[in-house]
Protein backbone atom coordinates (compact mmCIF):
# COMPACT_ATOMS: atom_id res chain seq x y z
CA UNK A 1 0.00 0.00 0.00
CA UNK A 2 2.04 3.01 -1.21
CA UNK A 3 1.57 6.10 0.99
CA UNK A 4 3.04 9.39 -0.17
CA UNK A 5 2.88 12.93 1.19
CA UNK A 6 2.79 16.00 -1.05
CA UNK A 7 2.79 19.14 1.11
CA UNK A 8 -0.20 18.84 3.41
CA UNK A 9 -1.87 16.15 1.29
CA UNK A 10 -1.46 12.44 1.85
CA UNK A 11 -1.94 10.05 -1.06
CA UNK A 12 -2.93 6.46 -0.36
CA UNK A 13 -3.30 3.89 -3.10
CA UNK A 14 -4.96 0.75 -1.79
CA UNK A 15 -7.15 -1.96 -3.21
CA UNK A 16 -8.71 -4.47 -0.81
CA UNK A 17 -9.09 -7.03 -3.58
CA UNK A 18 -5.46 -6.83 -4.70
CA UNK A 19 -4.16 -8.43 -1.51
CA UNK A 20 -3.04 -11.96 -2.38
CA UNK A 21 -5.63 -14.36 -0.86
CA UNK A 22 -2.77 -16.79 -0.25
CA UNK A 23 -0.79 -14.24 1.82
CA UNK A 24 0.01 -15.13 5.48
CA UNK A 25 -2.63 -14.61 8.18
CA UNK A 26 -0.77 -11.54 9.54
CA UNK A 27 -1.21 -9.80 6.13
CA UNK A 28 -4.90 -10.81 5.90
CA UNK A 29 -5.36 -9.46 9.40
CA UNK A 30 -3.69 -6.17 8.44
CA UNK A 31 -5.92 -5.91 5.39
CA UNK A 32 -9.07 -6.35 7.51
CA UNK A 33 -7.84 -3.85 10.13
CA UNK A 34 -7.14 -1.20 7.50
CA UNK A 35 -10.50 -1.79 5.86
CA UNK A 36 -12.23 -1.40 9.26
CA UNK A 37 -10.26 1.76 9.91
CA UNK A 38 -11.48 3.26 6.60
CA UNK A 39 -15.09 2.35 7.46
CA UNK A 40 -15.04 3.31 11.12
CA UNK A 41 -12.81 6.38 11.35
CA UNK A 42 -15.00 9.49 11.64
CA UNK A 43 -12.15 11.60 10.22
CA UNK A 44 -11.86 9.44 7.10
CA UNK A 45 -15.62 9.20 6.69
CA UNK A 46 -16.02 12.96 6.82
CA UNK A 47 -13.64 13.43 3.89
CA UNK A 48 -14.71 10.41 1.83
CA UNK A 49 -17.15 10.40 -1.01
CA UNK A 50 -18.27 6.88 -1.88
CA UNK A 51 -19.33 6.04 -5.41
CA UNK A 52 -21.14 2.91 -6.45
CA UNK A 53 -20.36 1.91 -10.00
CA UNK A 54 -23.15 0.86 -12.31
CA UNK A 55 -22.68 -1.28 -15.39
CA UNK A 56 -20.73 0.74 -17.98
CA UNK A 57 -19.21 3.18 -15.46
CA UNK A 58 -15.48 3.60 -15.27
CA UNK A 59 -12.95 4.82 -12.74
CA UNK A 60 -10.53 7.43 -14.05
CA UNK A 61 -7.25 8.38 -12.41
CA UNK A 62 -5.22 11.31 -13.58
CA UNK A 63 -1.86 12.05 -12.05
CA UNK A 64 -2.75 9.70 -9.18
CA UNK A 65 -5.98 11.52 -8.32
CA UNK A 66 -9.34 9.86 -8.63
CA UNK A 67 -11.38 12.08 -10.89
CA UNK A 68 -14.59 10.22 -11.25
CA UNK A 69 -16.11 6.84 -10.64
CA UNK A 70 -19.07 7.53 -12.84
CA UNK A 71 -19.16 7.97 -16.57
CA UNK A 72 -19.81 11.71 -16.89
CA UNK A 73 -23.04 12.82 -18.40
CA UNK A 74 -23.04 16.24 -19.93
CA UNK A 75 -26.23 18.27 -19.69
CA UNK A 76 -26.14 21.49 -21.66
CA UNK A 77 -28.65 24.23 -20.94
CA UNK A 78 -29.50 26.25 -24.05
CA UNK A 79 -32.11 28.95 -24.50
CA UNK A 80 -33.12 29.66 -28.09
CA UNK A 81 -34.92 32.03 -28.22
CA UNK A 82 -33.25 33.74 -25.25
CA UNK A 83 -34.96 36.51 -23.24
CA UNK A 84 -35.94 39.32 -25.58
CA UNK A 85 -35.37 37.33 -28.80
CA UNK A 86 -38.13 37.19 -31.40
CA UNK A 87 -39.12 33.64 -32.33
CA UNK A 88 -37.20 30.42 -32.86
CA UNK A 89 -33.99 30.47 -34.91
CA UNK A 90 -32.96 26.89 -35.73
CA UNK A 91 -29.64 27.86 -37.31
CA UNK A 92 -28.75 29.72 -34.13
CA UNK A 93 -29.54 26.69 -31.97
CA UNK A 94 -27.34 24.47 -34.16
CA UNK A 95 -24.55 27.08 -34.14
CA UNK A 96 -24.65 27.35 -30.35
CA UNK A 97 -24.42 23.57 -29.95
CA UNK A 98 -21.33 23.58 -32.19
CA UNK A 99 -19.80 26.45 -30.19
CA UNK A 100 -20.38 24.67 -26.88
CA UNK A 101 -19.00 21.36 -28.17
CA UNK A 102 -15.87 23.18 -29.37
CA UNK A 103 -15.50 25.08 -26.08
CA UNK A 104 -15.97 21.90 -24.03
CA UNK A 105 -13.78 19.79 -26.29
CA UNK A 106 -16.49 17.18 -26.80
CA UNK A 107 -18.16 15.79 -29.88
CA UNK A 108 -21.44 14.94 -28.20
CA UNK A 109 -23.83 16.39 -25.62
CA UNK A 110 -25.61 13.65 -23.63
CA UNK A 111 -28.62 15.82 -22.91
CA UNK A 112 -29.56 19.24 -24.18
CA UNK A 113 -31.95 21.07 -21.88
CA UNK A 114 -33.64 23.41 -24.30
CA UNK A 115 -35.68 26.43 -23.26
CA UNK A 116 -37.91 28.83 -25.17
CA UNK A 117 -37.52 32.05 -23.23
CA UNK A 118 -38.41 35.09 -25.38
CA UNK A 119 -41.07 36.74 -23.22
CA UNK A 120 -42.13 34.57 -20.27
CA UNK A 121 -44.91 37.01 -19.41
CA UNK A 122 -46.66 36.17 -22.67
CA UNK A 123 -47.01 32.41 -22.22
CA UNK A 124 -49.87 32.10 -24.65
CA UNK A 125 -47.71 33.46 -27.48
CA UNK A 126 -44.78 31.27 -26.41
CA UNK A 127 -46.97 28.15 -26.49
CA UNK A 128 -48.69 29.10 -29.76
CA UNK A 129 -45.41 29.74 -31.58
CA UNK A 130 -43.92 26.54 -30.18
CA UNK A 131 -46.96 24.53 -31.29
CA UNK A 132 -46.78 26.06 -34.80
CA UNK A 133 -43.11 25.13 -35.26
CA UNK A 134 -43.03 21.87 -33.32
CA UNK A 135 -43.65 19.67 -36.35
CA UNK A 136 -41.64 21.74 -38.81
CA UNK A 137 -38.60 23.90 -37.99
CA UNK A 138 -37.92 22.59 -34.48
CA UNK A 139 -38.52 18.98 -35.51
CA UNK A 140 -36.06 19.48 -38.36
CA UNK A 141 -33.35 20.88 -36.02
CA UNK A 142 -33.98 17.98 -33.63
CA UNK A 143 -33.54 15.48 -36.48
CA UNK A 144 -30.30 17.17 -37.59
CA UNK A 145 -28.59 17.34 -34.19
CA UNK A 146 -29.49 13.75 -33.43
CA UNK A 147 -28.51 12.34 -36.81
CA UNK A 148 -25.17 14.15 -36.77
CA UNK A 149 -24.61 12.75 -33.27
CA UNK A 150 -24.25 16.09 -31.50
CA UNK A 151 -27.15 15.54 -29.08
CA UNK A 152 -28.36 12.24 -27.65
CA UNK A 153 -31.34 13.40 -25.61
CA UNK A 154 -33.43 16.47 -26.46
CA UNK A 155 -34.97 17.67 -23.19
CA UNK A 156 -37.15 20.66 -22.44
CA UNK A 157 -37.40 22.92 -19.40
CA UNK A 158 -40.87 24.26 -20.11
CA UNK A 159 -41.30 27.08 -17.55
CA UNK A 160 -45.06 26.45 -17.60
CA UNK A 161 -47.46 23.52 -17.56
CA UNK A 162 -49.02 24.64 -20.86
CA UNK A 163 -45.64 24.59 -22.59
CA UNK A 164 -44.85 21.18 -21.05
CA UNK A 165 -48.13 19.88 -22.42
CA UNK A 166 -47.11 20.86 -25.97
CA UNK A 167 -43.62 19.40 -25.47
CA UNK A 168 -45.06 16.03 -24.46
CA UNK A 169 -46.80 15.80 -27.83
CA UNK A 170 -43.48 16.16 -29.71
CA UNK A 171 -42.07 12.79 -30.78
CA UNK A 172 -38.54 14.23 -31.02
CA UNK A 173 -38.59 15.40 -27.37
CA UNK A 174 -37.18 12.70 -25.11
CA UNK A 175 -37.34 14.31 -21.70
CA UNK A 176 -38.92 17.00 -19.55
CA UNK A 177 -36.91 18.82 -16.89
CA UNK A 178 -39.31 20.02 -14.19
CA UNK A 179 -39.52 20.98 -10.53
CA UNK A 180 -40.59 18.09 -8.35
CA UNK A 181 -40.78 18.15 -4.58
CA UNK A 182 -43.50 17.85 -1.93
CA UNK A 183 -44.09 21.62 -1.92
CA UNK A 184 -44.14 22.31 -5.65
CA UNK A 185 -46.58 19.89 -7.27
CA UNK A 186 -47.88 21.75 -10.29
CA UNK A 187 -46.38 19.27 -12.79
CA UNK A 188 -47.60 16.13 -10.99
CA UNK A 189 -50.60 15.71 -13.26
CA UNK A 190 -48.34 15.55 -16.34
CA UNK A 191 -46.24 12.63 -15.12
CA UNK A 192 -48.69 9.95 -16.25
CA UNK A 193 -48.99 11.59 -19.65
CA UNK A 194 -45.18 11.71 -19.90
CA UNK A 195 -44.96 8.04 -18.96
CA UNK A 196 -47.60 7.12 -21.53
CA UNK A 197 -45.73 9.10 -24.18
CA UNK A 198 -42.51 7.23 -23.43
CA UNK A 199 -40.64 10.30 -22.17
CA UNK A 200 -38.19 10.66 -19.30
CA UNK A 201 -38.38 13.19 -16.48
CA UNK A 202 -35.40 14.85 -14.84
CA UNK A 203 -36.50 16.31 -11.50
CA UNK A 204 -35.18 19.67 -10.34
CA UNK A 205 -35.13 21.05 -6.82
CA UNK A 206 -36.12 17.86 -4.92
CA UNK A 207 -35.62 19.69 -1.60
CA UNK A 208 -37.46 22.83 -2.77
CA UNK A 209 -34.13 24.64 -2.38
CA UNK A 210 -34.03 23.59 1.30
CA UNK A 211 -37.62 24.51 2.20
CA UNK A 212 -38.67 20.86 2.59
CA UNK A 213 -36.49 20.68 5.72
CA UNK A 214 -38.19 23.75 7.22
CA UNK A 215 -41.51 21.91 6.89
CA UNK A 216 -40.17 18.96 8.89
CA UNK A 217 -39.49 16.53 6.05
CA UNK A 218 -36.30 14.46 5.99
CA UNK A 219 -33.94 13.91 3.08
CA UNK A 220 -35.41 10.42 2.68
CA UNK A 221 -39.00 11.79 2.67
CA UNK A 222 -38.14 14.28 -0.08
CA UNK A 223 -36.25 11.75 -2.20
CA UNK A 224 -38.97 9.13 -1.76
CA UNK A 225 -41.47 11.70 -2.99
CA UNK A 226 -39.25 12.65 -5.91
CA UNK A 227 -38.75 9.09 -7.15
CA UNK A 228 -42.23 7.83 -6.22
CA UNK A 229 -43.38 8.12 -9.83
CA UNK A 230 -41.71 5.52 -12.08
CA UNK A 231 -40.96 8.08 -14.75
CA UNK A 232 -38.54 10.02 -12.54
CA UNK A 233 -35.18 8.34 -13.03
CA UNK A 234 -32.82 11.22 -12.21
CA UNK A 235 -32.79 14.42 -10.19
CA UNK A 236 -30.58 17.48 -9.91
CA UNK A 237 -29.65 18.02 -6.28
CA UNK A 238 -27.37 20.64 -4.83
CA UNK A 239 -25.37 20.29 -1.61
CA UNK A 240 -22.22 21.87 -0.30
CA UNK A 241 -20.92 19.48 2.33
CA UNK A 242 -19.80 15.84 2.47
CA UNK A 243 -22.21 15.35 5.43
CA UNK A 244 -25.16 16.43 3.27
CA UNK A 245 -23.97 14.18 0.46
CA UNK A 246 -23.78 11.23 2.86
CA UNK A 247 -27.37 11.89 3.99
CA UNK A 248 -28.50 12.09 0.37
CA UNK A 249 -26.73 8.83 -0.37
CA UNK A 250 -28.41 7.04 2.50
CA UNK A 251 -31.74 8.72 1.67
CA UNK A 252 -31.44 7.37 -1.89
CA UNK A 253 -30.60 3.91 -0.62
CA UNK A 254 -33.65 3.96 1.66
CA UNK A 255 -36.12 5.73 -0.61
CA UNK A 256 -38.85 3.66 -2.15
N1 LIG B 1 -33.53 24.87 -15.44
C2 LIG B 1 -32.57 24.48 -14.66
O3 LIG B 1 -31.63 23.85 -15.14
C4 LIG B 1 -32.60 24.77 -13.22
C5 LIG B 1 -33.66 25.43 -12.62
C6 LIG B 1 -33.64 25.58 -11.22
C7 LIG B 1 -32.57 25.12 -10.48
N8 LIG B 1 -31.54 24.50 -11.12
C9 LIG B 1 -30.38 23.98 -10.41
O10 LIG B 1 -30.81 22.85 -9.71
C11 LIG B 1 -29.93 22.66 -8.60
C12 LIG B 1 -30.77 22.30 -7.38
O13 LIG B 1 -31.59 23.39 -7.01
P14 LIG B 1 -31.67 23.99 -5.57
O15 LIG B 1 -30.33 24.09 -4.96
O16 LIG B 1 -32.46 25.22 -5.69
O17 LIG B 1 -32.57 22.92 -4.80
P18 LIG B 1 -32.42 21.57 -3.96
O19 LIG B 1 -31.40 20.65 -4.52
O20 LIG B 1 -33.83 21.14 -3.83
O21 LIG B 1 -31.96 22.07 -2.51
C22 LIG B 1 -30.68 22.44 -2.22
C23 LIG B 1 -30.67 22.87 -0.77
O24 LIG B 1 -30.86 21.72 0.06
C25 LIG B 1 -29.85 21.70 1.06
N26 LIG B 1 -29.47 20.33 1.38
C27 LIG B 1 -28.96 19.39 0.55
N28 LIG B 1 -28.76 18.24 1.21
C29 LIG B 1 -29.14 18.46 2.49
C30 LIG B 1 -29.17 17.65 3.65
N31 LIG B 1 -28.74 16.38 3.62
N32 LIG B 1 -29.64 18.18 4.81
C33 LIG B 1 -30.07 19.46 4.85
N34 LIG B 1 -30.05 20.29 3.77
C35 LIG B 1 -29.59 19.79 2.60
C36 LIG B 1 -28.67 22.42 0.46
O37 LIG B 1 -27.90 22.93 1.53
P38 LIG B 1 -26.30 22.94 1.46
O39 LIG B 1 -25.94 23.79 0.30
O40 LIG B 1 -25.94 23.50 2.79
O41 LIG B 1 -25.82 21.51 1.30
C42 LIG B 1 -29.37 23.52 -0.37
O43 LIG B 1 -29.70 24.63 0.47
C44 LIG B 1 -29.14 23.94 -8.45
O45 LIG B 1 -27.82 23.67 -8.87
C46 LIG B 1 -29.82 24.92 -9.39
O47 LIG B 1 -28.93 25.83 -10.00
C48 LIG B 1 -31.55 24.31 -12.47
Rounded to whole angstroms, the Cα distance separating 188 from 161 reads: 10
pLDDT tens readout for residues 176-213:
999 999 999 999 999 999 999 999 999 999 999 999 99
User: Between 175 and 36, whose confidence is greater?
Assistant: 175
Q: How confident is the model at residue 256 (pLDDT cuts 50, 70, 90)?
A: low
User: Between 180 and 74, whose confidence is greater?
Assistant: 180
pTM above 0.95, yes or no: no
Going from N- to C-terminal start, the domains of the chain cover 1-69, 70-254
Rounded to whole angstroms, the Cα distance separating 231 from 189 reads: 12
Rounded to whole angstroms, the Cα distance separating 217 from 170 reads: 36
CB-based burial label for 106 (10 Å; 0-12, 13-18, 19+) = middle
Q: How far is the CA of 211 from the centre of ligand 1 (A)?
A: 10
State the chain's mean pLDDT as an integer.
Answer: 88
Instruction: List helix spans (H) across 134-241.
Output: 137-147, 161-168, 191-196, 211-214, 219-226
Tell me the three state secondary structure of residue 75: strand
Tell me the three state secondary structure of residue 157: coil
- Ligand 1 pocket test, pick from 239, 240, 243, 245 with the greatest ligand atom count within 8 Å of Cβ, gives 239
Checking if the pLDDT of 237 tops 60, the result is: yes
pLDDT tens readout for residues 13-71:
777 777 888 889 998 998 888 888 887 888 777 666 666 666 666 665 545 555 444 45
Asked if 179 and 237 count as a contact pair (C-beta separation under 8 A), the reply is no
Q: Which residues lie below 8 Å from residue 146, measured CB to CB, with a gap of 6+?
A: 152, 154, 172
57: nearest Cα among 68, 41, 42, 47: 68
Q: How far is the CA of 58 from the centre of ligand 1 (A)?
A: 26
Fold classified for 70-254: TIM Barrel (3.20.20)
User: Between 96 and 17, whose confidence is greater?
Assistant: 96
Closest residue to atom 36 of ligand 1, CA basis:
239
Checking if the pLDDT of 102 tops 80, the result is: yes
Rounded to whole angstroms, the Cα distance separating 16 from 31 reads: 7
Strand bridging mode 3-6 / 9-12: antiparallel
- Ligand 1 pocket test, pick from 210, 250, 251 with the greatest ligand atom count within 8 Å of Cβ, gives 210
Amino acid sequence: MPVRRNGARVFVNWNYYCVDPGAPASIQNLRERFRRFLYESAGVREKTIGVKLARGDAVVWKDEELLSGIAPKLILKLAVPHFGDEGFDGARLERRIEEHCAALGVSQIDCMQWMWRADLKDDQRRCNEFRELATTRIASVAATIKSNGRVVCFACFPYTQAFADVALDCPWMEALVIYRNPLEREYDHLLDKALGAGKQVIALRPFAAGRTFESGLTVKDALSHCFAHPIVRSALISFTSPAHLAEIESGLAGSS
